[in-house]
């Protein structure tokens, strides 16, 4: 087969494509340019093959319905490997395989796997094209669906290729959907070589290699070497009625509402506030010469959870997906419109395209939309700024029915690192496995940190030492429940009340209630104007149950045991200090 690279392509890239083609034996090699014509052609091809169903052109123009294999609907963490040279460097937080063994396993799977298929070469940039914080990658894939998603999620095409040609530096990502057999599915990372190999899945983070594989697992490893952080965080700009803008990064596990918070619409009772979205899933953070922490969103689009997205819960997202969107695993109405739980009425076909049965869910709980970030009504143009945005706050959060109060503020950076390391959350449909089980998910990075968590926390501490003006660190929990299982906090737009309290703290307008776990709002400082919330419920939301927290510390220390050989002494001291405060 012919490998005709665009003029000027770096020889290292051409020879890698040659090698992969020799191994995988595709019928054809296509170098993606990122043009509209190319997008149209690939879209038409998927429509012809029946993989894409065009949605109602009057209500959902340029939008398509796609279903994945029923056994390929979420990330598969037990099949995701970090193959560092030394096992200890991957840490107990990763599944490890010896690199040579991993490669020979993958080579066997990739051998001849693209026969009869097209090999697409997808050059992309993570981050604004002219940013010193951006990094480049090339994904080789045999899936046109993956190409179209990568085209939305990254800055893909010739501009990225030119940058790659200048530097010769890029992350290599090799992907084949294979036969989608979960027994033959592996997502392998070789962080020292900046290499990813993914076989046997066409879904989300398993297949769109720019996202979790590159922008988190490989990037976190690279960031440690180069002095920056790759984090599972949304980025938003928050402008107060006085016109002052603060930038906030927030880390929550998958499917805990990062997209909703990033696109928050202020409640009517809080006029004058404005939220702009810089990113909804991943942030790269680097200390600036001014001693502040600066952030970019490496992505260019959203791969968001569809179920639950409605006019009421997230009007911006709802508007944003009314066109130019790829829908994966949603249900379909008789008018050829996408449908998911939370929307009115009922669909005609479920997410697999079958007539619906008696009982839902009709959309898959991890059904997704892929859409260009620029279509978001709250899109913040700062997302294009090569310098990124300076952070005033970092928020950690999880989905916890009990214990963690609505909000608290870390005492300082190092205490904040402990707060981040302590994040725990109930699992969601974003990963294959049981839903609703509490698991420790430090910095919401458990599935995404490409190296030993102990080294990672030390890296966080080191970054903090470079910041003369660090962001304040907070913890939130929107998901506290009553013993009867009702949510205590309304969430969504009303979360702005909590952000407002943070801004007042950052601007030193108010003091706070000092508790063993951190600073908390004083009665009256949390804006409840226009909010129906019983005093007793608020008290419960802000209660620190010392006994429960002491039990939590026992659980935390147990969870940290596997990391003890590399646990930073600073973190050890923070744990002891917190335990001490809880005793007095
Ligand atoms: O499948 S993805 O990893 O892209 C989505 C998620 O789990 O956050
Ligand atoms: Mn995510």
Q: How much is the pLDDT for 208?
A: 98
Q: Closest residue (by CA) to atom 8 of ligand 1?
A: 254
Pocket test for ligand 1, best of 211, 283, 447 (most atoms within 8 A of CB): 211
Pocket test for ligand 1, best of 139, 153, 254 (most atoms within 8 A of CB): 254
Q: How far apart are CA 517 and CA 472, in angstroms?
A: 15
φ, ψ of residue 38 in degrees (nearest 5):
-65, -45
Q: Please give the number of the atom of ligand 1 that sits closest to the Cα of 204.
A: 1
Pocket test for ligand 1, best of 152, 198, 212, 328 (most atoms within 8 A of CB): 212
Q: How much is the pLDDT for 224?
A: 98
Mean pLDDT of 74-87: 96
Q: Specify whether 291 is located in the same domain as 306.
A: no
Mean pLDDT of 268-292: 98
Q: Please give the number of the atom of ligand 1 that sits closest to the Cα of 212.
A: 3
Q: How far apart are CA 575 and CA 558, in angstroms?
A: 12
Q: Specify whether 413 is located in the same domain as 358.
A: no
Q: How much is the pLDDT for 467?
A: 98
Q: Please give the structure tokens belonging to residue 277.
A: 């979205």
Domain boundary among 346, 375, 404: 375
**Relative orientation angle of helices 453-465 and 219-226, to the nearest 10 degrees:** 40
Q: How much is the pLDDT for 436?
A: 87
Torsion angle of C-alpha atoms 275, 280, 286, 292, degrees rounded to 10: 20
Q: Is residue 407 within 8 Å of 521, Cβ to Cβ?
A: yes
Q: Specify whether 253 is located in the same domain as 309.
A: no
* CA neighbours closer than 13 Å in the CB half-sphere of residue 463: 27
Q: In which domain, by residue range, is 15 found?
A: 11-50+76-226
Q: How far is the CA of 531 from the centre of ligand 1 (A)?
A: 33
Tell me, yes or no, whether 464 lies in a domain: yes
Domains held by the chain: number: 3
Q: How far is the CA of 306 from the centre of ligand 2 (A)?
A: 14
Q: How much is the pLDDT for 255?
A: 84
Q: Is residue 102 within 8 Å of 365, Cβ to Cβ?
A: no
Residues near ligand 1 with C-beta < 6 Å? 75, 204-205, 211-212, 254, 303, 430
Is this model's pTM higher than 0.75 or not?
yes
Mean pLDDT of 464-488: 96
Tell me, yes or no, whether 248 lies in a domain: yes
**Exposed, middle or buried: residue 208 (CB in 10 Å: 0-12, 13-18, 19+)?**
buried
Q: Please give the number of the atom of ligand 1 that sits closest to the Cα of 203.
A: 1
Question: Band of the pLDDT at 184, cuts 50, 70, 90?
Answer: very high
Q: How far apart are CA 479 and CA 210, in angstroms?
A: 30
**Closest by CA position to 146, among listed 123, 117, 177:** 177
Q: How far apart are CA 303 and CA 367, in angstroms?
A: 10
Q: Specify whether 423 is located in the same domain as 561.
A: yes
Close Cβ partners of 114 (under 8 Å, ≥ 6 residues apart): 21, 24, 25, 26, 27, 142, 176
Q: Specify whether 275 is located in the same domain as 182.
A: no
Close Cβ partners of 492 (under 8 Å, ≥ 6 residues apart): 260, 264, 312, 313, 314
Q: Specify whether 311 is located in the same domain as 296.
A: no
Kind and range of the H or E run holding 21: helix 11-24
Q: How far is the CA of 206 from the centre of ligand 2 (A)?
A: 12
**Closest by CA position to 319, among listed 362, 266, 265, 282:** 265
Q: Specify whether 296 is located in the same domain as 306.
A: no
Number of H helices, E strands in the chain: 16, 28
Q: How far is the CA of 411 from the centre of ligand 1 (A)?
A: 32
Tell me, yes or no, whether 250 lies in a domain: yes
Looking up residue 327, the CATH number of its domain turns out to be: 2.170.8.10
Q: How much is the pLDDT for 432?
A: 87
**Closest by CA position to 199, among listed 270, 128, 266, 146:** 146
Mean pLDDT of 52-68: 98
Q: How far apart are CA 298 and CA 133, in angstroms?
A: 9
Q: How much is the pLDDT for 431?
A: 86
Close Cβ partners of 344 (under 8 Å, ≥ 6 residues apart): none
Q: Please give the number of the atom of ligand 1 that sits closest to the Cα of 75.
A: 1
Close Cβ partners of 578 (under 8 Å, ≥ 6 residues apart): 415, 418, 516, 517, 553
Q: How far is the CA of 310 from the centre of ligand 1 (A)?
A: 20
Q: Please give the structure tokens belonging to residue 163.
A: 């940058």
Q: Specify whether 370 is located in the same domain as 393.
A: no
Kind and range of the H or E run holding 504: helix 495-506
**3-state secondary structure (DSSP) of residue 228:** coil
Q: How far apart are CA 370 and CA 304, in angstroms?
A: 7
Q: How far apart are CA 503 and CA 519, in angstroms?
A: 14
3-state secondary structure 544-574: CCHHHHHHHHHHHHHHHHHHHHHCCHHHHHH
Q: How far apart are CA 293 and CA 471, in angstroms?
A: 7
Asked if residue 1 has pLDDT above 80, the reply is no
Tell me, yes or no, whether 481 lies in a domain: yes
Q: Specify whether 344 is located in the same domain as 296.
A: no
DSSP H stretches of helix in 62-143: 87-90, 99-110
List pLDDT tens digits, range 380-429: 999 999 999 999 999 999 999 999 999 999 999 999 999 999 999 998 88
Q: Please give the structure tokens belonging to residue 312.
A: 């009421």
Domain boundary among 329, 344, 375: 375
- Is 83 known to be catalytic? no
Tell me, yes or no, whether 62 lies in a domain: no
Tell me, yes or no, whether 155 lies in a domain: yes
Q: Specify whether 387 is located in the same domain as 501.
A: yes
Per the prediction, the chain carries an average pLDDT of 97
**Closest by CA position to 306, among listed 127, 66, 479:** 66
Q: How far apart are CA 353 and CA 7, in angstroms?
A: 43
Q: How far apart are CA 354 and CA 228, in angstroms?
A: 47
Q: Specify whether 409 is located in the same domain as 307.
A: no
Q: Which is higher by pLDDT, 257 or 162?
A: 162
Question: Band of the pLDDT at 149, cuts 50, 70, 90?
Answer: very high
Q: How much is the pLDDT for 7?
A: 96
Q: How much is the pLDDT for 135?
A: 98
Q: Closest residue (by CA) to atom 6 of ligand 1?
A: 254
Q: Specify whether 141 is located in the same domain as 251.
A: no
Tell me, yes or no, whether 3 lies in a domain: no
Q: Please give the structure tokens belonging to residue 78.
A: 């037990």
Q: How far is the CA of 66 from the centre of ligand 2 (A)?
A: 20
List pLDDT tens digits, range 125-135: 999 999 999 99
The catalytic position among 83, 113, 256, 449 is: 256
φ, ψ of residue 519 in degrees (nearest 5):
-85, 135
Q: Alpha carbon 6 to chain centroid distance?
A: 32
Q: Is residue 296 within 8 Å of 283, Cβ to Cβ?
A: yes
List pLDDT tens digits, range 510-526: 999 999 999 999 989 99
Looking up residue 144, the CATH number of its domain turns out to be: 3.40.449.10
Q: How far apart are CA 304 and CA 469, in angstroms?
A: 33
Domain boundary among 226, 242, 270: 226
**Closest by CA position to 308, among listed 454, 138, 456, 487:** 487
Q: How far apart are CA 38 and CA 45, in angstroms?
A: 11
Tell me, yes or no, whether 486 lies in a domain: yes
Ligand nearest to the CA of 428: 1
φ, ψ of residue 520 in degrees (nearest 5):
-130, 160
Q: Closest residue (by CA) to atom 3 of ligand 1?
A: 205
Asked if residue 584 has pLDDT above 90, the reply is no
């Amino acid at each position: 087969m012919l490998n005709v690279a665009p003029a000027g392509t770096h020889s290292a890239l051409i020879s890698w494509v040659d090698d992969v083609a020799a191994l995988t034996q595709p019928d054809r090699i296509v170098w993606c340019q990122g043009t509209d014509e190319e997008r149209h052609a690939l879209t038409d091809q998927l429509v012809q093959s029946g993989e894409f169903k065009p949605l109602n052109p009057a209500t959902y123009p340029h939008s398509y319905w796609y279903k994945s294999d029923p056994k390929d609907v979420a990330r598969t963490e037990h099949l995701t490997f970090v193959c560092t040279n030394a096992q200890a460097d991957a840490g107990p937080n990763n599944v490890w395989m010896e690199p040579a063994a991993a490669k020979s396993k993958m080579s066997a799977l990739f051998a001849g796997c693209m026969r009869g298929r097209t090999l697409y070469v997808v050059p992309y940039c993570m981050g604004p094209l002219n940013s010193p914080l951006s990094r480049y990658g090339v994904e080789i894939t045999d899936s046109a669906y993956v190409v179209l998603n990568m085209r939305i999620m990254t800055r893909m095409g010739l501009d990225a290729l030119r940058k790659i040609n200048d530097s010769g530096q890029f992350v290599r990502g090799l992907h084949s959907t294979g036969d989608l057999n979960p027994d033959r599915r592996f997502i392998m990372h070789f962080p020292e070589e900046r290499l990813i190999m993914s076989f046997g899945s066409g879904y989300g983070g398993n297949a769109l290699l720019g996202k979790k594989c590159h922008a988190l697992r490989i990037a976190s490893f690279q960031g440690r070497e180069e002095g920056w952080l790759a984090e599972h965080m949304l980025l938003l700009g928050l402008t107060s009625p006085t016109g002052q803008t603060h930038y906030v990064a927030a880390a929550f596990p998958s499917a805990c509402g990062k997209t909703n918070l990033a696109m928050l619409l202020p409640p009517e009772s809080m006029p004058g506030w404005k939220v702009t979205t810089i990113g909804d899933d991943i942030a790269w953070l680097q200390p600036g010469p001014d001693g502040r922490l600066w952030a970019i969103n490496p992505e260019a689009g959203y791969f968001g959870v569809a179920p639950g997205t409605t006019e009421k819960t997230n009007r911006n997202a709802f508007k944003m997906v009314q066109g130019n969107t790829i829908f994966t695993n949603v249900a379909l109405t008789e008018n050829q419109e996408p449908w998911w739980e939370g929307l009115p009425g009922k669909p005609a076909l479920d997410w697999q395209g079958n007539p619906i049965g008696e009982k839902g869910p009709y959309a898959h709980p991890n059904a997704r939309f892929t859409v260009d970030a620029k279509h978001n009504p709250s899109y913040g143009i700062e997302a294009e700024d090569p310098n990124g945005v300076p952070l005033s706050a970092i928020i950690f959060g999880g989905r916890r029915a009990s214990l963690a109060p609505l909000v608290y503020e870390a005492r300082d950076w190092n205490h904040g690192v402990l707060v981040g390391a302590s994040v725990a959350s109930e699992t969601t449909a974003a990963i294959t496995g049981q839903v609703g089980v509490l698991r420790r998910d430090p910095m919401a990075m458990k599935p995404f940190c490409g190296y030993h968590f102990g080294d990672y926390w030390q890296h966080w501490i080191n970054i903090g030492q470079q910041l003369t003006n660090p962001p304040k660190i907070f913890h939130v929990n929107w998901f506290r429940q009553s013993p009867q299982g009702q949510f205590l906090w309304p969430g969504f737009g009303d979360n702005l009340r909590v952000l407002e309290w943070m801004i007042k703290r950052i601007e030193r307008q108010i003091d706070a209630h000092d508790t063993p776990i951190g600073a908390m709002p004083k009665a009256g400082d949390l804006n409840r104007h226009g909010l129906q919330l019983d005093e007793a419920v608020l008290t419960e939301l802000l209660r620190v149950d010392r006994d429960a927290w002491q039990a939590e510390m026992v659980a935390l220390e147990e969870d940290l045991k596997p990391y003890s050989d590399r646990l930073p002494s600073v973190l050890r001291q923070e744990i002891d200090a917190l335990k001490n405060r809880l005793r007095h």
